[in-house]
Structure 1
Amino acid sequence: MPKSKRDRAVTLSKTKKKGREHKELIVNSIRETVENYNSIYVFSFENMRNLKFKEFRDQLKPTSRFFLGSNKVMQVALGRSVADEIRPGLYKVSKLLRGDTGLFLTNMSKEEVESLFNKYEEYDFARTGSTATEKVELSSGPLEQFTHEMEPLLRKQGMPVRLNKGVVELVSDFVVCEEGKPISPESARILRLLGIKMATFKLHLICRWSPEDFELYREGLDESDVESA
């Protein structure tokens, strides 16, 4: 009987020693885990929030396993071609690990996974450099949501404020951010102080693999895209 590709020792010789050992552990962990689950998905993410993702991962721990990290390392684990894939068809999964992506291995039904991922979203405060989803403009006048102690902090963020009888007052209209434009560090802080959340952490399914079939989810992708990747 030919030796299983899953048992083959993996050496990533182009990396530094400490990094190589860590990557070999990940490769071997993925290869061992593949045997325990019925389906493998590639998913992409936007506005990643580590704490929210950890909560989501822990919720699914009884039935599933996530892998995030170097796409190249995950590709090596699954196999990047027909010749070195560890199970038939997994090289197609490997080719779709590009950009902000991860692996989701599960024993849940296809319907359960699709429903879970399609419904999942978490709102959070936007970070510096992200795109504003709306225009936020403050009109001149009292800003009663802020205490007088916050006046120096607001002024430091570029807001034209002053204290008027102990009340923070905006002396002229002020645009915090413009829809479609990058959010500056100062704008990100002001939006947080105002309690305005503009970032949505979402997960999107790209493909599904099982021993019986392979399915693409992302609109505009077809099998030829996978073959040419």
Structure 2
Amino acid sequence: MPRSKRSKLVSLTQVSKKTREHKNALIEEVQANADKYRYCWLFGVGSMRNTHLKTVRKLWKDSARIFFGRGAVMAKGIGTTPEEEHKPGLHKLAQLIKGQVGLLFTDSEPSEVTEWFDDFKQPEFARAGNIATRTVILPAGPVMQKHSDPPEPFPHNEDPQLRKLGLTTTMNRGVPTLHAPHKICEKGKPLTAEQAQLLKLIGERLAVFRVSLLARWDATTGGLVQMDPPADIPLEVEAADGEDDEEEADMSE
């Protein structure tokens, strides 16, 4: 009798982990790019999404190299003290690496870099815990989804999900309908998981993916210039280093 596939055991030890050799290779790669390029920028990200970061990589692949991952690995690569720094002045940049930040190596002039990143913004769906950037109120009538142009009403089979997320809908000719306006969120207040999910369902994007430049190191002088992040876009720089293995994998792309 054939052995049932349901009884197959899968050992968790088969899951690949980042090895010391892998981290050492990344450190060497960071150092090689510090030798190759004149400028090294430290950047933070607002409303981090891997899809948008990959777009940035693609657009800069011919003139820059981007590392985004565990801060400890990047800091180790450039050196955290004057005695350990790979090149003069880099330890000052390493001391600024905290949370979810990245490094961009390039020879492009600072004015070109800052202008490009000031213009690059991508609307994105907010997540639970994000602060609502505006008040969103659904009007009375059919509940509309804005993923299409023009917006279309939700189909009847979505009504249970809408109710689960807090809408008091009734079916009107097979369409989930509100008999009174419903406030989903209020500007300035953090979003709950239900609010974030509802905003995503109806197609309301309250977040913005944005790369903000925080500091610049110049290989010719060893000098460091720091910049203030924009107050209107909250940056995700407080996350614990290495909390997401996927981000570390991004470093080697």
Q: Is this a same-fold pair by TM over 0.5?
A: yes
TM-score bin (small chain): 0.7 to 0.9
Cα-Cα RMSD: 1.7
| 2:201 is equivalent to residue 193 of structure 1 | yes
Q: Which has the higher contact order (CA 8 A, sep 6+)?
A: 2
- Output aligned runs, 1:62-73, within 5 Å: 62-73=62-73
Unaligned stretches of 5+ residues in structure 1: 1-16, 220-229
One-letter amino acid of the counterpart of residue 167, structure 1:
V
Q: In structure 2, what is the equivalent of residue 225 of structure 1?
A: none
Task: Report which stretch shifted further, 86-95 or 136-145.
Answer: 136-145
Q: In structure 2, what is the equivalent of residue 90 of structure 1?
A: 90
Structure 2 CA distance for aligned equivalents of residues 46 and 176 of structure 1: 23
Alignment match of 1:169 (pick from 155, 174, 177): 177
Q: TM-score, normalised by structure 1?
A: 0.82
Deviations, residues 11-60 of structure 1 (Å, cap 9, x unaligned): xxxxxx95422221211111122111111111111111110110111110
- Is residue 132–residue 190 contact of structure 2 (8 Å, CA) maintained in 1? yes
Q: TM-score, normalised by structure 2?
A: 0.75
Cα deviation, residue 89, structure 1:
0.7
- Output aligned runs, 1:206-217, within 5 Å: 206-210=214-218, 211-212=220-221, 213-217=223-227
One-letter amino acid of the counterpart of residue 56, structure 2:
F
| 2:212 is equivalent to residue 204 of structure 1 | yes
One-letter amino acid of the counterpart of residue 121, structure 1:
K
Deviations, residues 153-192 of structure 1 (Å, cap 9, x unaligned): 2112121011123232113332211212221222122212
| 2:30 is equivalent to residue 20 of structure 1 | no
Deviations, residues 66-109 of structure 1 (Å, cap 9, x unaligned): 11111111111111111111111111111111122110000111
Task: Report which stretch shifted further, 146-155 or 59-68.
Answer: 146-155
Secondary structure in structure 2 of the residue aligned to 1:67: strand
Distance 1:105 1:18, change over 3 A: closer
Unaligned stretches of 5+ residues in structure 2: 1-16, 145-152, 230-253
Q: In structure 2, what is the equivalent of residue 81 of structure 1?
A: 81
Cα deviation, residue 147, structure 1:
2.3
Q: In structure 2, what is the equivalent of residue 60 of structure 1?
A: 60
Structure 1 CA distance for aligned equivalents of residues 18 and 177 of structure 2: 56
Distance 1:18 1:198, change over 3 A: closer
Q: In structure 1, what is the equivalent of residue 121 of structure 2?
A: 121
Percent sequence identity is 34
- Is residue 31–residue 78 contact of structure 2 (8 Å, CA) maintained in 1? yes
